[in-house]
A and B are shown apart, each in its own frame.
Chain A
């Protein structure tokens, strides 16, 4: 991770000078890309009360651990992606967007039910990070997990079936929107409680390290933990920052700071809203990146993931992003300022990537349209598949409570219940 010029001391980003400083906060020059508004101006205008904090915190220096190295920034950037990479990124982001839009449609038609939390607007974070991973790397998410699962490789039809509650879903309809698990693609959930996934992700990273140290395998698997701004006030977040840095676990903590936790503004609930600063307090680099720009996210992600693979420990990455829809499909979304929504709509990551790809002649409009068409068809097919899939059978109710079916204990005839030939036929006293 790039560090400030003075060795071993990380100056916290003071708001006014952020643009000029070369500290960890900015990997690339802020305004060269994609029409994005540079961060500091926006924060400064939104809430004046931040400035006294910034002045106060400028006198506190966070001492980084020895792990943080200095690295020179490239001052001019050539193209960041090849054509193939560009198309992959575009397809993945468009898949996420189209899928979530279809979810909204299906929900209002009654095919989907319960809690559904959509990811519109945040695709750059998921695509930027997850497309750098191998299959063995793990992703742990929150209830806003459809797109994380899709980016990691879970087929859209399985996710759609799961949402419809059909037996062909990735969790046979037993998990639902908030609990996407996939052993094959190493998606370790899908958690409803915020902050719950962070220790689990830290544990998966612990396993990677354990495999290296105890099994002596050549294991460089990395875990990504995705969570939001509201979670960063939760105790478990800090507990895990501590332990991950203490044990140098191969994990990247990705904060999707979309400024709102249901209706609670991040600025109203957090004493110091700059989340990336909490990393150095625990001895790991904290980075802030524009989460509406997939290329910037990807650059930061590359460094964070390879840092973890090298065994240098965790990184905290704060992605400034925004969700275009409400917290969930049941949220009337009345508290957010329409001007704010309009502002972020102009920074739509998909439009931005499209513009970049076309302007830099990486692909033509027609190729992108072809991708869009392909994805639209894939989503339609996923919906059809989910519609036609059967609902779970009655016997499925009692299955999989235990990994070991004998744990169902002893039936009235003194034998293990699972040995009863009728056990999975739904006769087991429902």
Chain B
């Protein structure tokens, strides 16, 4: 059930009155699509919204709970329209009690429901960390499959714009180190839709790290993506751009930066391969290793703190499995090793920029 075979599917024209449950939302996105070309565009926000809506329509056990998800239509409007459509029992506005409502979501998952718990940002989820790790991640193991926890924790992760130190941390490395969790980091709308659907259908706990700055970005989507049974397998990375001189791994917003860096590098004759990790845990080591064995050079890019980060894990994995193939040391790009400053110029310096990726790649060649 986890891997959906991506079928070529005729998209039914869902103009008013179609039986498909997503007609309301389809109208929304069709209106925003470019009318001239046949390529549909969908923002990440719409992708998440439609994925949630479809999964909630398909399975009554799925519910959404979190702060401001209902009447406010979502703190970042990701759950827009869901309260009106599914009702207050299924789209639950909670009080500001991360530890409490995360535990409640997990208890509901223990006893048969499939909740999606939204954190306004994953920084707030630190108050619920005990529950995510101890009550959710470890339970299937501790109970030897007596109790499984089909729950999704989602919300924006990483830096936004000028929100300061307590709202800007990236938690990919923290959650990525815990056995029992699956950790996903989508980049495009296709990723967002497919991975969120896979996460909701997954019988175990999944941490779904979105990015606030990506919500408004529109990406082209194919017909397959729009189909309501579209799913992306968890644990497989995507090679966004093929290349042969250097491998750049990244996830979430950094994929966009890496692709821009690749364009700049191409002008200098350096053909970079950009990998979108999609899944932090389980990490797709075989794709990364395969790519490095081809290009012999690696740059890892992430937004989070460098020590014990995702890049460190990838570097170790390459050294273990593909050491002989490396022609140069691995370059690790991460955020600056400081809490996020507020001033705009300092914040820009504290986060990886396209120039940093380009410089690092050039250092290797």
- A residues lining the B interface (CB < 8 Å): 138, 140, 170-175, 179, 181-183, 186, 188-193, 196, 198-208, 210-211, 213-215, 235-236, 239-240, 242-243, 246, 400-404, 406-414, 416
Contacts of B139 in A (CB 8 A): 181, 189
- Nearest to B179 among chain A residues (CB) is A401
The interface stretch among B11-19, B92-100, B249-257, B308-316 is B92-100
Interface centre among B95, B100, B149, by most chain A C-beta atoms within 10 angstroms, is B100
Tell me if A189 and B147 are in contact (CB < 8 A): yes
Digitize B97-128: 1 where CB-to-A-CB distance is under 8 Å, 0 elsewhere: 10111111111111111000000000000000
Please tell me which one of the listed residues A175, A206, A208 contacts residue B104 in the complex, with CB atoms under 8 A apart.
A206
Tell me if A196 and B146 are in contact (CB < 8 A): no
Decide yes or no whether B286 CB sits under 8 A from chain A: yes
Decide yes or no whether B341 CB sits under 8 A from chain A: no
A239 in contact with B99 given A203-B107, A210-B113, A407-B202 (CB within 8 Å): yes
Contacts of B144 in A (CB 8 A): 171-175, 181, 400
Supply 11 further A-B pairs (C-beta < 8 A) apart from A203-B106, A407-B234.
A170-B146, A191-B135, A199-B104, A202-B107, A207-B112, A236-B103, A240-B100, A400-B144, A403-B149, A403-B202, A406-B235
Please tell me which one of the listed residues A199, A214, A404 contacts residue B89 in the complex, with CB atoms under 8 A apart.
A214
4 closest A-B pairs by beta carbon, nearest first, are A203-B107, A199-B103, A409-B282, A239-B100
- Nearest to B137 among chain A residues (CB) is A401
Contacts of A407 in B (CB 8 A): 2, 182, 202, 204, 234-235, 282
A278 to B212, CA, bound (A): 39
Contacts of B283 in A (CB 8 A): 409
Tell me if B97 and A242 are in contact (CB < 8 A): yes
Contacts of A174 in B (CB 8 A): 141-144
Tell me if A402 and B204 are in contact (CB < 8 A): yes
- 19 sample A-B contacts, Cβ–Cβ < 8 Å, listed by A number: A140-B107, A181-B139, A181-B143, A181-B146, A188-B111, A191-B135, A200-B106, A200-B107, A202-B100, A207-B111, A239-B95, A243-B104, A401-B141, A403-B149, A403-B150, A404-B204, A409-B282, A413-B286, A416-B235
CB distance from B34 to the nearest CB of A (A): 36
CB distance from A374 to the nearest CB of B (A): 28
A239 in contact with B97 given A214-B89, A400-B144, A407-B235 (CB within 8 Å): yes
A190 to B141, CA, bound (A): 13
Decide yes or no whether B203 CB sits under 8 A from chain A: yes
CB contact list, B129-177 vs A, under 8 A? 130-131, 134-135, 139-150
Contacts of A215 in B (CB 8 A): 60
- Nearest to A178 among chain B residues (CB) is B142
Tell me if A138 and B111 are in contact (CB < 8 A): yes
A410 to B346, CA, bound (A): 40
Decide yes or no whether B180 CB sits under 8 A from chain A: yes
A402 in contact with B111 given A181-B146, A243-B94 (CB within 8 Å): no
Contacts of A239 in B (CB 8 A): 95, 97, 99-101
Interface centre among A196, A211, A240, A403, by most chain B C-beta atoms within 10 angstroms, is A403
Contacts of B103 in A (CB 8 A): 196, 198-200, 202-203, 236, 240
CB distance from B336 to the nearest CB of A (A): 31
Decide yes or no whether B328 CB sits under 8 A from chain A: no
CB distance from B299 to the nearest CB of A (A): 22
Tell me if A200 and B145 are in contact (CB < 8 A): no
A243 to B89, CA, bound (A): 14
A409 to B103, CA, bound (A): 27
CB distance from B98 to the nearest CB of A (A): 9
- Nearest to B102 among chain A residues (CB) is A199
A406 to B3, CA, bound (A): 9
A204 to B139, CA, bound (A): 15
A411 to B287, CA, bound (A): 10
Decide yes or no whether B262 CB sits under 8 A from chain A: no
A408 in contact with B109 given A242-B97, A400-B141 (CB within 8 Å): no
- Nearest to B237 among chain A residues (CB) is A410
CB distance from A227 to the nearest CB of B (A): 13
Contacts of B100 in A (CB 8 A): 199, 202, 236, 239-240, 242-243
CB distance from A153 to the nearest CB of B (A): 14
Contacts of A406 in B (CB 8 A): 2-3, 235
A404 to B150, CA, bound (A): 10
- Nearest to A397 among chain B residues (CB) is B141
A179 in contact with B111 given A193-B130, A199-B103 (CB within 8 Å): no
Decide yes or no whether B77 CB sits under 8 A from chain A: no
Tell me if A204 and B135 are in contact (CB < 8 A): no
Tell me if B286 and A236 are in contact (CB < 8 A): no
A403 in contact with B204 given A193-B134, A207-B113 (CB within 8 Å): yes
Please tell me which one of the listed residues B63, B94, B101, B282 contacts residue A210 in the complex, with CB atoms under 8 A apart.
B63
Decide yes or no whether B54 CB sits under 8 A from chain A: no
Decide yes or no whether B241 CB sits under 8 A from chain A: no
A226 to B236, CA, bound (A): 42
Contacts of B282 in A (CB 8 A): 407-410
Tell me if A179 and B60 are in contact (CB < 8 A): no
Interface centre among B89, B90, B147, B282, by most chain A C-beta atoms within 10 angstroms, is B147
Contacts of A170 in B (CB 8 A): 146
A205 to B130, CA, bound (A): 20
CB contact list, B41-65 vs A, under 8 A? 60, 63
- Nearest to A225 among chain B residues (CB) is B107
Contacts of B150 in A (CB 8 A): 403
CB distance from B62 to the nearest CB of A (A): 10
Tell me if A401 and B180 are in contact (CB < 8 A): yes
Contacts of A186 in B (CB 8 A): 111
Contacts of B279 in A (CB 8 A): 409
Contacts of B236 in A (CB 8 A): 410
A250 to B103, CA, bound (A): 16
Interface centre among A173, A174, A182, by most chain B C-beta atoms within 10 angstroms, is A174
Contacts of A188 in B (CB 8 A): 107, 110-111, 147
Please tell me which one of the listed residues B104, B146, B235 contacts residue A171 in the complex, with CB atoms under 8 A apart.
B146
Contacts of A213 in B (CB 8 A): 89
Contacts of B106 in A (CB 8 A): 199-200, 203
A200 to B203, CA, bound (A): 18
- Nearest to A214 among chain B residues (CB) is B89
A240 in contact with B104 given A207-B112, A407-B282, A412-B286 (CB within 8 Å): yes
Decide yes or no whether B71 CB sits under 8 A from chain A: no
